[in-house]
Amino acid sequence: MNTFTYSYPTKVYFGEKSAGNNLPAELAKVGKNVMLAYGGGSIKKNGIYDELMSILETAGKNVVEFSGIMSNPTYAKVQEGAKIARENGIDFILAVGGGSVIDCCKVISAQAKLSENLWEFENEKHSSPSEFIPMGAVVTAFGTGAEENCGAVITHEEKKIKGALWGAFYSFAILDPAYTMTMPMKQVISGSFDALSHCMETYMGSPRDVNLSDEINEACQRNIIRNLRATLNDPNDIISARSELVWAAAMAENGMLKIGKVTDFQAHMLEHQLGAYTDCNHGEGLAVIHPVLYRHMLPEAEKQFARLAVNVWGISADGKSEKQLAEEFINALADFIKEVGLPTKFSEMGISNADFKAIADSTVLTGGCCKKFTREELLEVLNECS
């Protein structure tokens, strides 16, 4: 295991009625002007908006709403939110939604306190923001575990880049599984696969000899697979299946699985650029890319794939070589993708004329991947996915 420093600043309130039981005490710690940030307005249809507004009003807060955060948040939307925050003297941001809303607000929190352009500040000057508007998150759609870290994925439409920006940690996060019950099943499935992908991408990094982080990771992967199947079998099972998926998604990105690891995330980098050019569903894009990319990685990743076959997918090792087990892992992953109704080709996602060469040429090549991909091979992967 590599040397590491681990710090976890976000307080998590997990379980039903977590907002009503804990949000008032948290709001008592912050200033009067609160930005309530959310997406397309589904929280107004399912009652969450009314519940939170009642809590905010009882706490005596002056609420400024910031809505319309899209599923792949843009840098322009970040700037819009930062402008509103500055003009209204926002003391605290309450982000309500899934990973897109939560990511967008992390960056708004930083940009509102920075006079410079944050994208250039981080990506060209290689500097990090040091001042932030404090934030809290209420999770209504799970999958990314975004409330558990300070990283955000933002699409810069002018530059045709979907990439990472670094903002603030949330002071607290409210994870009430009941809030996710109105998620469309398509979103439950794609979000769950994104969480599984985060686990796999972390697992495939170095060191490649199994350590404690990897063993915890294997358990998370088994949990996601088991409980997505259980949720599809009984969508109303909040107590076990849904609750487990919500917490597994959080575990995938709260840093626990990354302790002592240099992560892979080559599949994510490729999908991010696909998203920059097509605005596609993130989890679905990952589901198409993973098996194809992993077949290209097989010679270098044979040992880890074989472990996943046995320890995650329950495949018997009797009489099988490491290579055979590795191949069976990829087959099991591909079969699971079909089983839960995720797409297996870009054409099933309505992607038929994307500029694959531009996508491959602009994809970040990750240092933690066990295979050093060339842009030509990433182009091959994209063509095979089509």
pLDDT digits (tens), the chain, 386 positions: 677 777 788 999 999 999 999 999 999 999 999 999 999 989 999 999 999 999 999 999 999 999 999 999 999 999 999 999 999 999 999 999 999 999 999 999 999 999 999 999 999 999 999 999 999 999 999 988 899 999 999 999 999 999 999 999 999 999 999 999 989 999 999 999 999 999 999 999 998 888 899 999 999 999 999 999 999 999 999 989 999 999 999 999 999 999 999 999 999 999 999 999 999 999 999 999 999 999 999 999 999 999 999 999 999 999 999 999 999 999 999 999 999 999 999 999 999 889 999 999 999 999 999 999 999 999 999 999 99
CA 192 to chain centre: 10
The yes/no answer on whether domain 185-385 falls in CATH 1.20.1090.10 is yes
292-323 residue pLDDT tens = 999 999 999 999 999 999 999 999 999 999 99
Q: What is the pLDDT of residue 1?
A: 66
Q: What is the pLDDT of residue 207?
A: 87
Give CATH for domain 11-179: 3.40.50.1970
Determine what percent of the chain is predicted with pLDDT higher than 70: 100
Is the fold of 11-179 the same as that of 185-385? Answer: no
Domain boundaries, the chain: 11-179, 185-385
Q: What is the pLDDT of residue 208?
A: 81
Rounded mean pLDDT of the chain?
96
Using alpha carbons, list the distances in angstroms from residue 235 to 43, 152, 178, 179, 228. Answer: 19, 29, 12, 13, 9
Torsion angle of the four alpha carbons 199, 200, 203, 209, in this order, in degrees rounded to the nearest 10: 140
Interatomic CA distance for residues 209 and 134, integer angstroms = 39
Any bridge partners for residue 145, and if so which?
none
Q: Which contiguous run of DSSP H or E holds residue 268?
A: helix 266-278
Q: What is the pLDDT of residue 379?
A: 98
117-130 residue pLDDT tens = 999 999 999 999 99
Any bridge partners for residue 93, and if so which?
35, 135
Q: Answer yes or no: are the C-beta atoms of 343 and 383 closer than 8 Å.
A: no
- By C-alpha distance, which of 276, 43, 115, 139 is closest to 66? 43
Q: What is the pLDDT of residue 35?
A: 98
Q: What is the pLDDT of residue 344?
A: 98
